[in-house]
Amino acid sequence: MSVRMPTDVEEWKSEVYGQEIRDHLMEFAEEGWESIPDDEHDAWFERFKWWGLYHQRSGQESYFMMRIGTPNGVLEPGQLEVVGEVADEYARGPAENPEFGAAYADFTTRQSIQLHWIRLEDVPEIFDKLESNGLTTQQACGDSWRNIVGCPVAGKDANEVVDALPVAENLNETFKGDENHSNLPRKWKVSVTGCREGCGQGDINDLALEPAEKDGRMGFNVRVGGGLARNEPRLARGLDVFVTPDQAEAVSGGLSSLFREYGDRENRYNARMKFLVDEWGADEVRETLQEEFVDFELEHAGEDLRDQYTYNAGTGPAAGSHDHADGAAADGGVAAQYPGGDHDHIGVHPQGDDNFYVGLNVMVGRMGVEDCLELADLADEYGSGEVRLTQRQNVIVTDVPESELDAFLAEPLLDDYAPDPSPFERGSIACTGTEFCSLSIVETKNRQVRFARWLKQNVDLPEGVEEFHIHLSGCTASCAQPQIADVSLRGMKTRKNGEAVEALDIGLGGGLGEDPRFADWVAQRVPADEVPGAIENLLGNFADAREDGESFREFVENRDEETLAELIEPEETSYTDPYMHNTKLTWYPYAEEDDMDDGPAPVPSDEYPVEADD
């Protein structure tokens, strides 16, 4: 008699998981959507995640989101064009988004790419096209190693401490597809970075390798147990371990194995490394790693560089931090037009080989398919063809000679994806929202774009404040990483004038850097159309009440939640919000006829949906 696994997901995984899912996926694709038994939808949709497929929300049955993993955010020459071509051919749905059109690619906060409106029947052709060009969806989701993140200009940065790109690539090649690491209690998120800015966001990952020096050797200190999801955020804790680049594979694999053996499989809510570290403490994790999972003596931690971290540190570039004005363009060349920004990699910056990289702002990480294809062409024309993705949902074109910078920066596409955006545009991050996600409570991407535009036109930042991060997450899953923003927005519902409307909780003062902190949630259920006014009043009150040049984060940290709540003052303004209705109850928030019964899903496998303009 077989023993029942402790949760449905563990039971489903015990039956079929990992590489073998692909065979079933291809069979379903060949036979069509209807071939998946109705009573097995939940099981197969959970398994499909291992191959990067998420079934879209209610009202969009038979459509999937596809996630493409790009380790460390690197898209090799030609790969962005392939992504654009796949989106153009296979990611067009039955309705258009009024901001972004009918087809687009989403760049995520984990340096991956997401496409929507994917039909199961098209998956074999998509996989063939992706894989023949060095791209894959394998383990982009599911209970396994997720896309490895890090400094997006690793191997290019003129001032990096250690080149982390070979380490990240080796970890990806070693553990993606390895059956010993393909069925973990839950997801396993890894960050590897060797830069001075801290842009790898190691503090919010299950495993972080951060640059350090020990006895004249450069390598990494190891931290574990970070994460943001739900209402249980944790900062990664130091393990008192230093590894050289050559040791990174053994220690990372050892920690993954430790999580596989000791992580909680009986309660998925508790099945994350952060809770195991809570229960054991870092000392016991280190001791168990040493005794059971590595065969050499672990070294104690080296001297880290956290005091130099400027990424999302709440202070802007640190005094003395490098920028391109210190590099090849110190004579006043074109790069000197874009000072600062190394910490988030927006703007023009020197590489270590006399070329430059140019970071472009992509509002909320979404780029229309025509723009993707044009950017791929520009990367070929002015650089090497390589494009990289950042954890702030932006893109970087690398390997641009100084002689080509003027011409590249004059390209019309950069009017929409600027290397010098306004602080509100530059600081905007948003998750998928109710457009496609079954967990989200509110519309997000179009709303955050509208927020940023209105703030840019109507609000000035106080003196000395050069950056301002606003992250909008549709629920508590924290895909937009709201807890590490100056202003954190989280989807809720409320009533206004007797009607149910979309609303947002507001948190303040989160960020990373040398001394990371999570936002304080100080206002609840603010109607979404009153949020821009709340931010405007907050910044005005901050300017009036700050003391001795306090940064915004310092201002928040120095005041209690009651005082902060009084400074928000939500109010209606000239901002208008077309998404105040309960978009979760629509089949698509932007459809002219948006009732659930009006949607075309599910689409029979032998038919294609009617285009929105037909």
Residue 414 sits in the same domain as residue 432: no
Among residues 225, 198, 200, the alpha carbon closest in space to that of 307 is found at 198
Please give the average per-residue pLDDT across 407-412, as a whole number: 98
pLDDT of amino acid 603: 86
- Which residues on adjacent β-strands are paired with residue 74? 388
Which is more confident, 492 or 158?
Answer: 492
* Residue 203 shares a structural domain with residue 229: yes
Q: Answer whether residue 323 shows pLDDT above 50.
A: no
Task: Based on the fold, state whether residues 211 and 266 are members of the same structural domain.
Answer: yes
The answer on 459 and 371 residing in a single domain is no
| Residue 319 phi, psi dihedral angles, 5° rounding | -55, 130
Q: pLDDT value at position 604?
A: 82
Whether 287 shows a pLDDT value over 70: the answer reads yes
In a domain, 311, yes or no: no
Residue 614 placed within a domain: no
Q: Are residues 294 and 222 both part of a single domain? A: yes
Alpha carbon distance 106, 363 (integer Å): 10
527 domain residue, yes or no: yes
pLDDT reading at 317 higher than 50 = no
pLDDT, averaged across the chain: 93
Same domain, 197 and 241: yes
d(CA 189, CA 373): 30
Inter-residue contact 40 to 69 (CB < 8 Å) = no
pLDDT in tens, 54-107: 999 999 999 999 999 999 999 999 999 999 999 999 999 999 999 999 999 999
- Say whether both 61 and 94 belong to one domain: yes
Q: How many C-beta neighbours within 10 Å does residue 2 have? A: 6
39: helix, strand or coil: helix
Please give the order of strands across the beta sheet that includes 470-473.
Answer: 428-430, 470-473, 487-496, 499-508, 520-527
The structure tokens listed for 440 are 């989200």
Residue 145 lies in a domain: no
- SS3 of residue 114 by DSSP: strand
Domain shared by 48 and 74, yes or no:
yes
CATH number at residue 217: 3.30.413.10
Q: Is 484 exposed, middle or buried (0-12, 13-18, 19+ CB in 10 A)?
A: buried
CA atoms within 13 A on the CB side of 508: 26
**450 in a structural domain:** yes
Specify if 401 maps to a domain.
Answer: yes
User: Could you report the per-residue pLDDT of 430-471, keeping only the tens digit for each?
Assistant: 999 999 999 999 999 999 999 999 999 999 999 999 999 999
Instruction: Encode burial over 95-111: b for 16+ CB neighbours within 10 A, e otherwise.
Output: bbbebbebbbbbbbbbb
Average pLDDT over residues 36-53: 97
> Residue 247 belongs to what domain range?
160-306
Asked if residue 612 is part of any domain, the answer here is no
What CATH number did the domain enclosing 411 receive?
Answer: 3.90.480.20
What is the total count of domains within the chain? 4
**Residue pair 528/492 in contact by the 8 Å Cβ criterion:** no
Q: Does 480 fall in a domain? A: yes
pTM to 2 decimals? 0.94
Q: How confident is the model at residue 44 (pLDDT cuts 50, 70, 90)?
A: very high
Based on the fold, state whether residues 181 and 108 are members of the same structural domain.
no
